[in-house]
Structure 1
Amino acid sequence: MGDDKEKVLRFFNLKLLFRPSRAQLIRNLWDQFYQIYCAIRDDTTNPGQLKIQALDWLSLFLTPSQGDPNDPRTFIQGLYLPSHVTPYIHTLVYHGWELLEKHRRWGLKAFSCSAVEKKNHNQVSTFFHKTLKNGGNPLKRKSAIQEIIEYENRTLYFTYNPLPKSKRIKKLRIK
């Protein structure tokens, strides 16, 4: 996390955007996440303690709403639903401590997904810029994934197997 993001995470005044009670709930969520973030970066962190911290943070993340949604006097809005738990959150909570325990000498930085995210971004960009987007000849229509994989295979093939360069000069006549 960059310094600017860390400052926002730690010091942003949520009371400018939310009611005080809601701002405090969100502040607690961010503060607990920051504690986990610091624990992950600390070489002396106990994996068991990280597991407890992550599970506590998840239970705060999944704070349910309380009261009658139609009565603003008694309704207290929760934070997130279980469907909002991403694969990254799942990995942090249920496997982060295991990775820390088994691979302590590398730390969790070794498990960054940035390369995978970049590859996914490049492939999606390729699909939307350089493929037929399931168009073209309707009889030979392919799935988007197949088009992306075939394009990548062609790119890799010609990267490692360049075509021989033609020595003949080609002349074009324009009438």
Structure 2
Amino acid sequence: MLRITDVLMGCLFGDLMIDLNEFKKVTKILIEKEMQRIGLTHFQFFESKSKGKSWDWTSLTGPDKLIMLQHFDVTKFIAGDRGKKISLLWKEFFNLYQFLRKDSFSDSEINSFEINAKNWIKLFCEPTIGKSNSINQRRGMFNPTDITPYMHIFVFHIPEFLRKLQHKGLNMRQFSTSSIEKKNHLHVKLFFGGTTMGGGNNSNDNSVLHDILSFENRQLYYLMNDTSRCIKQRIIRPNP
């Protein structure tokens, strides 16, 4: 679920990169100093190699993301009501995530989590109010298209999972998606790297998803039938 933090960071930094010259000369330096203030001394921006005139930043580990959510002062960079709302988004997500780390939940706590999570996602995609470029216009937050599957699951499915786990005496801390993340990494590396960029040669008109599933099926077949998955070169010498 902490991957949602990457979305929150991306949305904030995207706002701040509207003026790239200002970002390069001033803003990125101030952000790096703020990261140092909260103990993330290794964080830095670097010019993107894939996005043209843009910037990427150091990936953070789970514990570092929690530190950033809790202590990074968004209002230093986004002024006014919008800055306060973005800061609230960060703090509220931190609180919701911490709730999921509990050992047990009551029905009322799960219901409260569900309400708070839905309010959180509503704030995330709060629309702009008023006529465009008018004095009374109130700028909204972020686009609904910025919502990722992780965010959808967090808001609309996690409460259901919590209720089912509660009845079995289990909790979220007993489960991990690391194996799924690793599988996804291997698929991306195999099907979208180097000569297979974009899914490889699609001359057979199959989708990348079809090719991935076909690959997985072959691997399962080889495993179940004890079939060798490599070719061994053999030299056959003629009889004298």
Q: Within 5 Å, which residues of 2 pair with 1:31-110?
A: 31-45=91-105, 46-71=109-134, 73-104=135-166, 105-110=169-174
Following the alignment from structure 1 to structure 2, what is the Cα–Cα distance between the partners of residues 36 and 86?
A: 17
- 8 Å CA contact 2:130–2:138 kept in 1: the answer is yes
Q: Rate the CA distance shift 1:52–1:152 in 2: closer, same or farther, 3 A.
A: closer
RMSD (Å) for aligned C-alpha atoms: 3.1
Following the alignment from structure 2 to structure 1, what is the Cα–Cα distance between the partners of residues 102 and 209?
A: 40
Q: Which residue is equivalent to 2:57? A: none
- 8 Å CA contact 2:113–2:159 kept in 1: the answer is yes
Q: Structure 1: which 5+ runs fail to align? A: none
One-letter amino acid matched to 2:214? E
Q: Within 5 Å, which residues of 2 pair with 1:112-123?
A: 112-123=176-187
Q: Identity percentage over the alignment?
A: 32
Q: How high is the TM-score relative to the length of structure 2?
A: 0.57
Following the alignment from structure 1 to structure 2, what is the Cα–Cα distance between the partners of residues 69 and 98?
A: 40
Following the alignment from structure 2 to structure 1, what is the Cα–Cα distance between the partners of residues 143 and 219?
A: 42
Q: Rate the CA distance shift 1:100–1:165 in 2: closer, same or farther, 3 A.
A: closer
Q: Secondary structure at the match of 1:67?
A: coil
The answer to whether residue 85 in structure 2 is matched with residue 25 in structure 1 is yes
- 8 Å CA contact 1:62–1:79 kept in 2: the answer is yes
Q: Structure 2: which 5+ runs fail to align? A: 3-61
- 8 Å CA contact 2:104–2:171 kept in 1: the answer is no
Aligned length: 167
Q: How high is the TM-score relative to the length of structure 1?
A: 0.74
Give the C-alpha shift of residue 5 in structure 1. 0.8
